[in-house]
Amino acid sequence: MAEPVAVMALLIDAAIGWPAALYARIGHPVGGFARLLGAADTRWNDPRRSFAARRAMGVLTILLLVGIAVGVALMLDAVLRRLFGSSAWIAIGLFAAPGLALRSLHDHVTPVADALDAGDLALARTQVGMIVGRDVAQLDESGVARAAIESLAESVCDGVVAPLFWLIVAGLPGLWAYKAINTADSLIGHREDRWRAFGWAAARTDDIANLLPARLSGVLLCLAGLGGWRTMLRDAGNHASPNAGWPEAAMAGALDLRLAGPITYDGVSVAKPYIGDGRTDATAANLRAALVVYRRACVLLLVIAGGLACAL
């Protein structure tokens, strides 16, 4: 049942995504995860507690968050199956689609390329600043293009491949459990003193959840980009994350670019190793090429999901 659901979810997300009007009225489902995490952070991540106590509270937070996500998804799945019987996979696909970011990712990266094509560097910085965490005020055209390409490549995993993977493996509960974990990692899974203990469980759980999807994402991008295998295998480990380097290195190789390298966060320069051995002077054309690779990868995912639906 999961595979037809995956096809339906991909098609719905590609067609309409999460409409802005709907977001304005009710927000997005992950917003509930964010509010729960915020409340837990305020109540349990007390700096007066010991490191071990805060880590234990972080573990409890993840258990509660995932438990709620799985419990709600199981109940929803059961209700939809009872109401719609053999056609339930269509309705389940509708409730799975918001867990994907196929269209959203494309719609957030494309304006960066549009602004670069128009020669509006200030607007391009603003647009890329909405999808990356680094300082963007001093980025030149190449820096903006590279930042957008890196974000696009990394998000192929946690925005598309990983939630789809867990949907196929464990149905609606699997997808929303993954989204809960990934949201927790984004909000509290940091190395700063405030979250090093409390966010430990979120970061480690996210690493495990993305272990296979990240590598599948790299393979998918190499297939879609008609190359990049050598760079992916050689440079995936250059990323600080055990997973994010796979799709990023695959994209770098496919586009013959050098990504990553020194980055500035909150005014502090961080000396990160480069990924890839191509050019560093990325352009809007390179960003457009990355979007083409991304669209091909999404089509491949749809074909794979459809093949699984027919085979099982």
pTM of this prediction? 0.94
- The H-or-E segment that residue 270 falls in is strand 268-270
Whole-angstrom distance, CA of residue 154 vs CA of residue 200: 21
By CB atoms closer than 10 A (0-12, 13-18, 19+), residue 310 is exposed
The model's pLDDT over 160-218, given as tens digits with 9 standing for 90+, comes to 999 999 999 999 999 999 999 999 999 999 888 899 999 999 999 999 999 999 999 99
The model's pLDDT over 75-132, given as tens digits with 9 standing for 90+, comes to 999 999 999 998 999 999 999 999 999 999 999 999 999 999 999 999 999 999 999 9
For residue 131 the two structure tokens come to: 């999808």
The model's pLDDT over 280-297, given as tens digits with 9 standing for 90+, comes to 899 999 999 999 999 999
Whole-angstrom distance, CA of residue 167 vs CA of residue 174: 5
DSSP strand pairing (274-275 vs 268-270):
unpaired
Give me the DSSP letters along 53-90: HHHHHHHHHHHHHHHHHHHHHHHHHHHHHHHHGGGHHH
Could you give phi then psi for residue 257, rounded to 5 degrees? -120, 160
**No. of helices (H) and no. of strands (E), the chain:** 14, 4
> What region does 171 belong to: left with phi over 0, alpha with psi -120 to 50, or beta?
left
Neighbours of 157 (CB within 10 A): 27
Whole-angstrom distance, CA of residue 109 vs CA of residue 98: 18
pLDDT above 80 for 46: yes
Confidence of residue 272 (pLDDT cuts 50, 70, 90): confident
